[in-house]
Amino acid sequence: MKDNRSNHWPAPAKLNLFLHINGRRADGYHELQTLFQFIDHCDYLDFAVNDTGTLTLHSSMNDVVAHSDNLILKAAKSLQEVTQTTLGAEIWLDKRLPMGGGIGGGSSDAATTLVALNHLWQTGLSSQKLADIGLSLGADVPVFINGLAAFAEGVGEHLQAVDVAEPWYLVITPNVHVSTALIFQDPALPRDTPKLNLADLMSNPWRNDCQQLVSNLYPQVAKALAWLIEYAPSRMTGTGACVFGVFDTRQQAEDAFAKMPVDLSGFIAKGTNKSPLVLRLAQY
């Protein structure tokens, strides 16, 4: 099977450089404004196309996430249904991004599955159509499909490409799984940050409206932030648990990483305004 695999499709992590919660809609979803940037730290997926229509996933996560809940299989099935293709695929996931970390691992895996299988099955859908399918799987999936750093509004579906600095990040991954749904349901979550235009948002100090609540609920997140902020401007991404410090050079990030307490874990990554997935697709 290996000789007909299409290998090493990246599913990159993202960071929310800022995240503002503007209010809650009647349907329960939250209006937000956020800035997404990719980093070059990724899950990787391999695919082998078959003509039987069957979908099989090989993953160390199979014991953690039920197949019926797995976004990779949901994405592949959705693409089959929309395009009516008779093709299937065997999929291998090399899972490197933490779950429940706020860096988009599941959404990114789904996006890479849609982009890769659209190419490998030759189903010919546009990026916009793939993003429409992706939105039904999760609010963050379209940004991974579009593959460009973006300012997002609404529930995250209105995207505007932006060009921002591409620094080095030290990302700390506290060993806790933060439920996005529970954070957005918490009465203590701020929901009244005024909407601003993009120019004002870019020029004002960046913050994450979920950060204080998550820090209060998860001491591991508070501890990671308290340590990291001694070395660099630092914030939480998404609804947590991951926190990141911003460095001008890799060496500065390495120097801080070397001093990290033994009970913390993390990685160093480069910010990038163009997703590694887009760069992979461009090889064809």
Residues flagged as binding site: 98-108
Which residues participate in catalysis according to the annotation?
A: 14, 140
DSSP state of 148: B
Annotated binding residues for ATP, written as ranges, equal 98-108
The whole-angstrom separation of Cα 59 and Cα 271 is: 27
Burial of 37 (0-12, 13-18, 19+ CB in 10 A): buried
Asked if 276 contacts 42 with a C-beta cutoff of 8 angstroms, the reply is: yes
The whole-angstrom separation of Cα 263 and Cα 220 is: 10
CA-angle at 18, arms to 192 and 97, nearest 5°: 125
Place of tokens 């913390």: 264
